[in-house]
Amino acid sequence: MRSQRNDPIKNKILRLAMLSFFIFVILTFRLLWIQTAKSNEYRLAAIRQRAKEVKVYPSRGIIYDRNFIPLTNRNRVSTMFVIKDQVIDNEESMEFIMKYTYADKKSITDNNSWKILEFPLKRPLSNKNLPKGIFVAEKTLRYSEMNILSHVIGYIKRSDNSGESGIEKVFDDVLKNNEVGSIYFEVDNKKKRVIPGGGFVVVENEELRKPNSVQLTTDYHIQKIVEEAMDEKNINGAIVVAEVDTGDIVAIASRPNFDQDDVDAYLKKDNMEFYNKAIQVSYPPGSLFKIVVLLAALEEDPNIVNEYFYCNGFEKLNDLIIKCNKEDGHGYISAEDAFAKSCNSTFIQMGKRVGSKKIIDMAKKMGYGKKLNIGLLEEVEGNLPEGKELIGPSVGNISIGQGKIEVTPLQVTNMMMILANNGIEKDLSIVKGIVTEDGYMVKEFKKNEEKRIISEENSEIVNKFMAEVVLKGTAKKLDLEDIGGACGKTGSAQAILNGQNTIHGWFSGYYPRENPKYVITVFVEEGFSGSKSAVPIFGKIAREIWIKNR
């Protein structure tokens, strides 16, 4: 007789029972996991199948400044949501809507009947005792009414929630987020109309730890200072502010501005509202380019700073005559005074000695003619002459930043950053990294290693010359001595704008003079003179940043 212990049939039954129990345990834990971890996901999927969604929170992550001040998803508006089918034939409900919102009867009745209408409230209103078909909730706006930093942030295509420009486009995959705050109203299956008397559910965004937001290097308060300065003077152009120690761009603005919530209004206009003129448009630098000429001359002959030049009011190169900024000439003038007073004749003479090619080679070293790749797709390379464009009398225009030379305000800022750091180039950037909505850094973007571009000795000479520009030269009206003074260079550049000859105004520099903190580049379209148009704006911005940081 066989032992029960060795009975193969009973052993099989036992193993099968144990396997069944093990499978049961796994399925039980799986069900519990679905009911807990995935409950919201499945609940939301079920709601979406039988409901009309109205978003009360943007379907995109937040764009922050360097201090985690939100630049998007910032403003909330108390909003009345109206189910039109339930109020259209009720005169009391219609009167109620018009009493508490800015809507009129036409704006209510002219909408498609299936729509849930939205109207901002005139004053706060609770959900208690509201007429049937009316609901009140806070709605978060994607963009603020000020449209601050609009050209950097960019805008989205409403139809599919995709980024069309700026940071919105660069980080579209990161910022897209469909799990947002929404109201879901029940609809019938056939006509997809909101069911009269049907219910609604509010679903809030609970995934704050999801890496769907972007942190920039910009400073909200400095950005406001810059934009208010531009709007106060009603200027078109661009301004860039960068932090000397880090290479962080703390402010960047372009004018004219545009409304990010009403992009269609600008599509037929031709005022370049969508262009970020700090990075997307290049211009002749004018006398700012004399910094490049001086650096090239110093590398060729360091003793040139001790020389005197003679200016009789113009320079003739074959058939080309280029006038100095002082018609009767400066006479005998030192290199330092020539730089401070922006003497064209002196720098054309320098340029002829150095040669066009070496000047352009120096321009390339200083970051001209290439993208700096700060994190925005719209950036352009500008233009530097080459080949036959460097031959003959073209050296005259090259020496004073005219002709084929075109640069962006960002590239000018990069050059000034090199000088403020005594010849060392720091990687300029505008993006700090990818973060969660509650401020946790997920991926911080690393900068390129800093590198020496020009010698410390030559940097010191140029910085000394730029100090003279402010103390007794073309920027002598810049009164910042009480906050540490400044160094910089003006520029007045001839250009063609809208088919007409004009002159743009430049001033780029840094402050304070010793141990500089910020580089500021101001470009004013049709400014006619950097001294008159750009210098005062630089002074206003520098002083207000100083007050802010006290």
**Mean pLDDT over residues 285-309, rounded?**
95
Domain ranges for the chain: 1-31, 49-148+178-212, 220-260+274-549
Q: How confident is the model at residue 539 (pLDDT cuts 50, 70, 90)?
A: very high
Start-to-end C-alpha separation, the chain: 100
* Counts for the chain of helices (H) and strands (E), in that order: 17, 23
**Alpha helices for 37-90 (secondary structure H):** 39-49, 84-87
Judged against a pLDDT cut of 50, whether residue 1 lies above it is answered with: no
Cβ neighbourhood burial of 515 (10 Å; 0-12, 13-18, 19+): exposed
CA distance 151 to 144: 13
Least confident window among 129-143, 226-240, 473-487: 129-143
Report the CATH number of the 220-260+274-549 domain: 3.40.710.10
CA distance 536 to 522: 10
Judged against a pLDDT cut of 90, whether residue 543 lies above it is answered with: yes
- pTM of the complete model: 0.85
pLDDT in tens, 43-82: 555 555 555 667 778 889 999 999 999 999 999 899 988 8
Determine contact, residues 409/238, Cβ cutoff 8 Å: yes
Residue-averaged pLDDT of the chain:
88
What pLDDT is attached to residue 201? 54
Tokens found for residue 424:
């060392």
Q: How confident is the model at residue 208 (pLDDT cuts 50, 70, 90)?
A: very low
Q: How confident is the model at residue 229 (pLDDT cuts 50, 70, 90)?
A: very high
Q: How many CA atoms lie within 13 A of 54 on its CB side?
A: 25
Q: How confident is the model at residue 14 (pLDDT cuts 50, 70, 90)?
A: confident
What pLDDT is attached to residue 111? 62
Q: Cα separations (Å) of 234 from 57, 231, 408, 436? A: 34, 5, 21, 37
pLDDT in tens, 411-452: 999 999 999 999 999 999 999 999 988 888 989 999 999 999
Q: How confident is the model at residue 550 (pLDDT cuts 50, 70, 90)?
A: confident
φ/ψ of 121, rounded to 5, equals -80, 145
Judged against a pLDDT cut of 70, whether residue 197 lies above it is answered with: no
What pLDDT is attached to residue 88? 80
CA distance 468 to 490: 12
Per the model's pLDDT, the better-predicted residue between 83 and 278 turns out to be: 278
What pLDDT is attached to residue 186? 57
Judged against a pLDDT cut of 70, whether residue 36 lies above it is answered with: no
pLDDT in tens, 364-422: 999 999 999 999 999 999 999 999 999 988 999 999 999 999 999 999 999 999 999 99
| Distance of alpha carbon 210 from the chain centroid | 23
Tokens found for residue 476:
């002598």
